[in-house]
Amino acid sequence: MNNRGRRKYTQLDDEALTRRAQQGDNPAFDALLGRYRSYIKQYLLRLIADPDAAEDILQDTFIKVYTSIHQYRGDSSFKSWLFVIARNSWKNHLRSHQYQAHIDQYKDVYDLDIAGEQSPENALIQQQQSKLIRVAIDALPTKQRTTVTLRINRQLPFVHIAETMQCSLSTAKANHYIGVKTVGRMIAA
């Protein structure tokens, strides 16, 4: 596509690009995803500290968007719809790597926080809950904090955590279990 054609697409808003993409206009689809690629990538990198996995999830997200663009009804902004698909792709990735328990345990930490997409009250509540969980994790004893952090932020299997911390597999699991239980009690208090 020449520069004039690119400029034509960059001047269109999301709604116009989405309509064109739904009609099979691939350059419009590329322009639409190109507009949000770096935002989605940064969001995924915050969720999973593995650039290769983040790139895989990003590609999976874009494939899902491509195959379901005709289902987008415009009830929410395209950006919001795209971020929800990215979050769901990330969750599917974690499930496939047996991290479902951590998604459920730390749901508030991982939920989307897109400015302007939620009410101010809900945003404040979510922000406070996330901060409370982070403070609780930071207050854990060093071994428990390290184990929980490695498991949550890096999605490391317990075998790798044990190697990293130079302890037995059962010790790594015990530190994680106690840490998660302690965080739960701190939050409930």
User: How is residue 115 annotated by DSSP?
Assistant: T
The architecture (CATH level 2) of 1-97 comes to: Orthogonal Bundle (1.10)
Average confidence score pLDDT of the chain: 80
Q: Assign 39 a pLDDT band (cuts: 50, 70, 90).
A: very high
CATH of domain 100-189: 1.10.10.10
Q: Residue 67 in contact with residue 17, Cβ under 8 Å?
A: no
- The CA dihedral of 176, 177, 182, 185, to the nearest 10 degrees, is 140
- Looking at the chain, the whole-number percentage of residues with pLDDT higher than 70 is 79
Neighbours of 65 (CB within 10 A): 23
Q: Residue 90 in contact with residue 83, Cβ under 8 Å?
A: no
Domain extents in the chain: 1-97, 100-189
Q: Residue 103 in contact with residue 94, Cβ under 8 Å?
A: yes
Q: Assign 113 a pLDDT band (cuts: 50, 70, 90).
A: very low
**Position 71 pLDDT exceeds 60:** yes
The helix/strand/coil state of 148 is helix
Q: What is the pTM of this model?
A: 0.52
